[in-house]
Amino acid sequence: MANAKNNLKARHNWIKNIVAVVTSVFFFAPFYIILSLSFKVRGDRSSHWIFPSSPHIQSYVVALTKGNIGTAIINTLIVTVFSVVLIILFGSIASYPLARHRSKLNKFILSAFVGVMMVPPLSVLVPIYRLMVSLGGINTFWGIIILSTTYGLPMSVFMFSNFICTIPKELDEAALLDGCSQFAIFPRIILPNMMPVVSSVVILTGVSIWNDYSFQLYILQKPKLRTITLAMSSFFSEGMTNLPAAAAAAVMAVLPVVVLYLFLQKYFIKGTVDSAVK
């Protein structure tokens, strides 16, 4: 009886493994194509499916020198790191009162923030661009950082305040009784308990700023300041005659996020699940 059940399970797993191979091939195919193309020489007319017998790296050299992908990666890193730090700082301190004291004012602030999560950045393109021109924020890192921070805040406030609700209120009350000032409760009691959700917010907002195209497109117009998505789009529109170099640029654009994901897979998955709960 038990044996028959095991046999059935083993057969099931065989089928599953086969389906899994087909699925993986399907989902990996686009990446395989840019990899194989990126190692070809310019003018190679073989099918994209055929990996070159002697791989060349000259396309990568072209993408780095002409496409400035290296500078772009550094620029993107600067924008992402500063924005994420500000998002965590402002988002976490704002969430504490919003989650703990459900006054009318606080409820209003929270619902205004959460409402903005839905707003597509492009719908305010014209006024934002105009505002940034008058503030002198075009072609500056602070301009893009301040916009990325503002539009990343709602997500962090949403996730932080949801999480703070799960921390027992008795902890706050005990601290107050022990003579802790109410402003000291957050850094001493709440913040140390928040580390799991901080990692999720860092990954979620970090990935979305790293991948942003809309705000970066209006603010960073100088070639020197280009981020990855901007460098990719200008390289693609100028250089469609050199397909392997375009593919190499795509590989280098994808690589940092994928490598980070492979190392921190657990946190990426957790972040996605955390953001989706309710």
Q: CA 239, CA 26: separation in Å to the nearest integer? A: 28
Q: Which of 40, 60, 69, 97 binds another protein (CB under 8 A)?
A: 97
Rounded CA separation 25/27 (Å) = 6
Name the segment binding another protein (CB under 8 A); options: 62-70, 112-120, 163-171, 189-197: 112-120
Select 107 or 224, whichever has its Cβ closest to another protein.
107
Residue reference for tokens 């009886």: 1
Stretch that binds another protein, among 54-62, 100-108, 162-170, 194-202 (CB under 8 A): 100-108
List 6, 7, 13, 65, residue binding another protein (CB under 8 A): 13
Where does this chain touch another protein (CB under 8 A) — which range of 17-25, 64-72, 163-171, 189-197? 17-25
Contact, 250 vs 261, CB < 8 A?
A: no
**Selected range binding another protein among 14-22, 58-66, 77-85, 194-202, rule: CB under 8 A:** 14-22
DSSP per-residue string spanning 93-154: HHHHHHHH---HHHHHHHHHHHHHTTS-GGGGHHHHHHHHHHHT-TT-HHHHHHHHHHHHHH
Token pair for residue 256?
A: 């940092």
- By CB under 8 A, is residue 108 in contact with another protein? no
Q: Please give the residues from 64 up to 83 whose contact with another protein meets the rule CB under 8 A.
A: none
Stretch that binds another protein, among 23-31, 59-67, 162-170, 189-197 (CB under 8 A): 23-31
Task: Please work out, in degrees rounded to the nearest 5, the angle formed at the alpha carbon of residue 127 by the alpha carbons of 152 and 112.
Answer: 45
Q: Is residue 21 involved in binding another protein (CB under 8 A)?
A: yes
Residue 177 engages another protein in binding (rule: CB under 8 A): no
Structure tokens at 21: 């191979």
- Pairwise CA distance, residues 5 & 258, whole Å: 39
Q: Which of 115, 136, 196, 223: binder of another protein (CB under 8 A)?
A: 115
In the bound complex, what is the minimum distance in angstroms from residue 186's beta carbon to another protein? 7
DSSP state of 41: P
Instruction: Give the whole-angstrom CA distance, residue 167 versus residue 174.
Output: 13
Q: How far is the CB of 35 from another protein (least distance, A)?
A: 10
In the window 122-141, what residues touch another protein (CB under 8 A)?
122-131
| Smallest separation (angstroms) from another protein to the CB of 20 | 4
Contact pattern from residue 145 through residue 164 relative to another protein, giving x for each residue in contact according to CB under 8 A and a dash for the rest: -xx-xxx-x---x-------
Nearer to another protein (CB atom), residue 7 or residue 23: 23
DSSP letter string, 66-89: TS-HHHHHHHHHHHHHHHHHHHHH
Stretch that binds another protein, among 52-60, 62-70, 108-116, 188-196 (CB under 8 A): 108-116
Should residue 222 be labelled a site residue for another protein when binding is judged by CB under 8 A? Answer: no
The reply to whether 171 sits near another protein by the rule CB under 8 A is no
Q: How many chain residues touch another protein (CB under 8 A)?
A: 95
- Rounded Cα distance, 80 and 273, in Å: 22
d(CA 88, CA 76): 18
